[in-house]
Structures are given as C-alpha cells and as structure tokens.
Amino acid sequence: MMNIQYFDWEPEKGLEEYQARIYNETNNPTPPITPESIIQRNKQEKPVFCRIALTEEKEPLAYVQARDYPAIKETHIGFPWALTNCPKGVQDRLFDEMVTYVKNRKESMTIRANAASERKEILEFFKKKGLKEKTRSYRYDIELKKLNEAKFEGYTTQLATLDDIDKLVELIREDGRFDGQFPTDEDVKTYFTDRVFATGHCILVYKDDNLVMASAPLIYKLPPENKDTLILRFHSYRKGSEGAYRPLLVEMAKECLKANYGTQFPISTFVSPSSEEIFATILDDFDPVKTVTGFSFGFEE
C-alpha cells in the first residue's frame, strides 16, 4: 500500500516544482507553467492556500489550491489535479480538507468552485461533492469591423502612456478585484510598465474627466486549443461605470485596426450574465458568437 504524505504550501520548500509538473501533465498548457511563475504568483497572493500529496519517495501525486477574492467575498476552490498513478481517494481527501479549512476560517467567504465546460470529469467531481450549479460563463466573440462601426456618447477615450500610471494604480485599487494579484502599488506599476506598456494599445475611458475604465488587448494562446486569440489582458473599472464597456470595446477595436494588431481575430471577452448583466447586455448589442465556457458551483446556503 502506497504511503502518501500531505504538505501545506510553504515558501522555499520546493513544492512549486511538484505543482508545476502535476498541472502541466494534466492540462498540457502552451507554454507550460514553470515553478518560477508559481513562486512569483504566490508572492503576490496573500494568503496562499495549496495542499499537495506526494509519495514517500517525494514523487508528486496531486494538489488542490484555493484563492480568496475579497472584493466579491468569495473563495474559489480549484479542482484537485492528479497524475494517473494517484491512488483513489487522494483527490477527495485534498478537496474535502480544503473545504473544511475554508469553512472554519474566521473570514466569512462564499465558497465557489469553477469548471471549464469541456472538462466533464471536473463537472462530475463537483456534483459528487454536493455542489450545485450557480452560474454559467460565456465567451463572446465580436468582429473588430463590427465594433469599429459602432457609436457611443457621453464618454471620452485616449491611449494610456507612462504618465497615466498613477491613475491606473488608483483605478486598480478602487476596483478591488486585483488586490490578491497585486498586493502593493509597486506591483501594479511593475505590471503596467513591464507588460502592458511593452505591448501597448491600452485604452482609457473617461466620464466627466474621471478615469472610469481601462483595458488593453493581448494576443494570447487560449486553452484548451492553445490557439492565438485576441483577449482583454485586464479589465478594471469603477463600480457604477459599467456603461463605459461599450466605448472601451469600440475604441479598442479602432486601435487594433489602426495598429494592425490582432486584426485577423475577433475580440474575445468572457462574461457571466448572471453576475455581469450590464456587460452581457452591451455585448449582445453587437450580435456576438456566444459559447458556454464554464460553470460556477456552490454549496446550498
């Protein structure tokens, strides 16, 4: 009988190497994730919830991870990824212990578990655990030329430059959804200077001279097909300013066409209509191609 050891994530213990191997072998991402990328992400996320199962010989078997989203008061627990040699019951134990830990914390967070639509084994696992479908997420594909022809009123837009970085930091902070990814203002600035501005095309949307929304396009190999896709690399906004989504998309399409960036692709954006109704309504105005991409599960409340 295999002797299985369970470890909670700790910094500088090398557990990221096992996590990367498990994820790469079970998901085949392009490019593969690296231990270094996991280390950097864990430095940005506080706290880190990850539990890993290894053999006695320190060979990886499975892991489960959870993330807090304080802005929406939710904790998302991932599927326990496991290699083919993982004994039966290890995935159940990892997931059940993570759920118990999250439920017993002082922080009051709603537990959610998300699954991509094409991974039937994940859907069945969450259902087996007693979770119920709460929402569905959709991918909306809209042709750039269709967006380019659209009009809007009441907003002004401009391309972002390094001079706008303090405004972007303020916007990201007020948004709140990125606090785990960018714990400090310097983290936000590094992200924009090293990544967003390196590619360019970042659109700022103003209402009455106030910055209310920002985003930038990115050509990205989207799983599971790993085909090049034009997506929003980030999307930040002030609450109550959801209507700025229309000018954001229109001006982003104009910028992509002008700069000849990703013009062979539609803009692909991902929305859950049940929680992002205004965005979904705006997207529907452009007659998009809609595809179910995922499900969010939760326990009965």
Tokens of 176: 């709140």
Burial class (CB in 10 A: 0-12, 13-18, 19+), 264: exposed
* pLDDT > 80? residue 275: no
Q: Of 99, 130, 161, which one is at a domain's C-terminal end?
A: 130
pLDDT (tens digit, 9 = 90+) per residue, 178-221?
Answer: 877 787 899 899 999 999 999 999 999 999 999 999 999 999 98
* pLDDT > 90? residue 117: no
| Total of domains in the chain | 2
**Which range (36-40, 109-113, 143-147, 277-281) has the least confidence?**
36-40
* pLDDT > 80? residue 153: yes
The per-residue pLDDT for 120 is 86
Could you list the residue range(s) of the whole structural domain that residue 199 is in? 139-292
Q: Of 80, 102, 130, which one is at a domain's C-terminal end?
A: 130
Q: Are 188 and 150 in a shared domain?
A: yes
End-to-end CA distance of the chain: 39
Interatomic CA distance for residues 78 and 50, integer angstroms: 10
Question: Can you say whether the dihedral through the CA atoms of 116, 117, 122, 126 is positive or negative?
Answer: positive
pLDDT (tens digit, 9 = 90+) per residue, 56-75?
Answer: 999 999 999 998 888 788 89
Q: Are 122 and 149 in a shared domain?
A: no
Smallest CA-to-CA distance from 276 within 248, 229, 243, 249 is with 243
Tokens of 188: 């936000």
Residue 188: inside a domain:
yes
Residue of higher predicted confidence among 301 and 28: 28
The per-residue pLDDT for 301 is 65
The per-residue pLDDT for 176 is 86
Tokens of 235: 């999307």
